[in-house]
């Protein structure tokens, strides 16, 4: 099957071995790109894969089946804060399901989880309850966590400080300030940059890059969202990771190849693959 509305081959450009620390295959499919076709194209171009991210405990078997042919494609298991809005959410049942998914060898991290006060899916209390339950479960299983934070720096930091991740984790699609970044680093977190690093008004975010230790920096697409310049507004996919890598490389004063190698090594270290 070909992609339904987005040509792929002419949009894949990245150093061989580049990895993506955050993408959603089933969401990409809902945006019109066949994930089986996409994964094959990525493999043909030497993609190093990375982490395919859960938004809930559903469709786990389908995600595993997509990942199985690719040894370097790993999964998370977790529940996005939007799930807190559901009247059908059974926290005990959900945590039991996640605990079972954590045992699968493809699962190397927990998430994405967190707090979103931009969309206000539900009350802070409900979002925090779901977040903290996952933080504690991930620590019990010694899995790093993948954190969703939107307009909730203080609330996310409070939860992380009170429930420090035993295996560290990733501040996904980082868009906060320097003080928050350094507080997260103190908690053992890695900082992951997405396509917003390339946006015209992201000068403060680009300035932050020079302040961070190189061994705590990751790169992601958050696809099908957060498409980097010059494709902003179009469906994103992991083949565009090279665009964000190019911006990051310039800021780090490294080549794109060296930056891809750096971020890949960082991701592998966090996931205990190296």
**Three-state SS across 94-127?**
HHHHHHHHHCCCCEEEEEEEEEECCCCCCCHHHH
Looking at residue 10, its pLDDT comes to 57
* Residues of the chain scoring pLDDT < 70: 1-10, 274
**Count of C-beta atoms within a 10 Å radius of residue 272:** 12
Q: Determine phi and psi for 97, rounding to 5 degrees.
A: -65, -45
* Contact call for residues 208 and 257 (beta carbons, < 8 A): no
Looking at residue 7, its pLDDT comes to 53
Superfamily of structural domain 13-270: Metal-dependent hydrolases (3.20.20.140)
Looking at residue 121, its pLDDT comes to 87
Looking at residue 91, its pLDDT comes to 96
* Contact call for residues 198 and 229 (beta carbons, < 8 A): yes
Average pLDDT value for the chain: 95
Looking at residue 5, its pLDDT comes to 43
């Amino acid at each position: 099957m070909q992609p339904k509305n987005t040509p792929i081959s002419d949009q894949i450009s990245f150093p061989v071995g580049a990895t993506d620390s955050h993408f959603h295959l089933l969401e990409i499919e809902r945006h019109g790109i066949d994930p089986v076709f996409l994964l094959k194209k990525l493999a043909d171009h030497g993609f190093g894969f990375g982490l395919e991210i859960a938004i809930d405990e559903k469709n786990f078997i389908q995600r595993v089946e997509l990942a199985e042919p690719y040894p370097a494609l790993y999964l998370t298991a977790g529940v996005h804060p939007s799930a807190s809005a559901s009247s059908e959410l059974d926290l005990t049942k959900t945590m039991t399901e996640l605990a079972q998914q954590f045992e699968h060898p493809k699962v190397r991290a927990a998430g994405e989880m967190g707090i979103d006060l931009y969309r206000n899916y539900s009350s802070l209390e409900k979002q925090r309850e779901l977040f903290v339950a996952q933080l504690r479960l991930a620590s019990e299983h010694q899995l790093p966590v993948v954190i969703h934070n939107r307009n909730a720096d203080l609330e996310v930091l409070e939860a992380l400080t009170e429930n420090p991740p035993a295996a560290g984790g990733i501040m996904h699609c980082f868009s906060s300030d320097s003080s928050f970044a350094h507080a997260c680093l103190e908690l053992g977190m890695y900082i992951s940059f997405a396509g917003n690093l390339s946006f015209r008004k992201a000068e403060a975010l680009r300035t932050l890059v020079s302040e961070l230790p190189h061994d705590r920096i990751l790169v992601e697409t958050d696809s099908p969202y957060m498409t980097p310049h010059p494709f902003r507004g179009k469906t994103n996919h992991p083949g565009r990771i090279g665009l964000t890598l190019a911006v990051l490389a310039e800021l780090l004063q490294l080549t794109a190849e060296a930056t891809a190698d750096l971020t890949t090594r960082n991701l592998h270290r966090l996931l205990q693959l190296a």
